[in-house]
């Protein structure tokens, strides 16, 4: 999914469970550096605390600037 290209961008994420969030991608972590078998984003949803989102949780993602 090439998640690294969303680093330092404002995005809209559609999750596999149908939830939708907008926020800022602070950083990207390659699967080799995680305990999981997928890439992750450090994501700050609008008005909330930072969370980690695994690539397996993302249905689609787009830059919204």
Residue ranges covered by each domain of the chain: 3-63
- Residue 65 pLDDT: 73
Sign of CA dihedral 54, 57, 60, 64: negative
- Residue 49 pLDDT: 97
Q: Which CATH code, of 3.40.630.30, 2.30.30.100, 3.10.620.30, 3.20.20.80, is assigned to 3-63?
A: 2.30.30.100
- Residue 17 pLDDT: 97
* Residue 5, CA distances (Å) to 12, 18, 47, 59, 62 in order: 14, 23, 23, 16, 10
Q: How far is CA 59 from the centre of its chain?
A: 11
- Residue 8 pLDDT: 97
Q: Render each residue's pLDDT in the chain as its tens digit; 65 residues.
A: 899 999 999 999 999 999 999 999 999 998 877 777 889 999 999 999 999 999 999 999 999 97
Q: How far is CA 44 from the centre of its chain?
A: 9
């Amino acid at each position: 999914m090439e998640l690294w290209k969303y680093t330092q961008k404002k995005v809209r994420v559609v999750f596999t469970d149908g939830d939708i969030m907008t926020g800022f991608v602070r950083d990207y972590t390659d699967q080799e550096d995680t305990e999981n078998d997928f890439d992750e984003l450090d994501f700050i949803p609008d008005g909330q605390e930072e969370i980690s989102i695994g690539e397996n949780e993302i249905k689609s993602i787009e830059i919204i600037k």
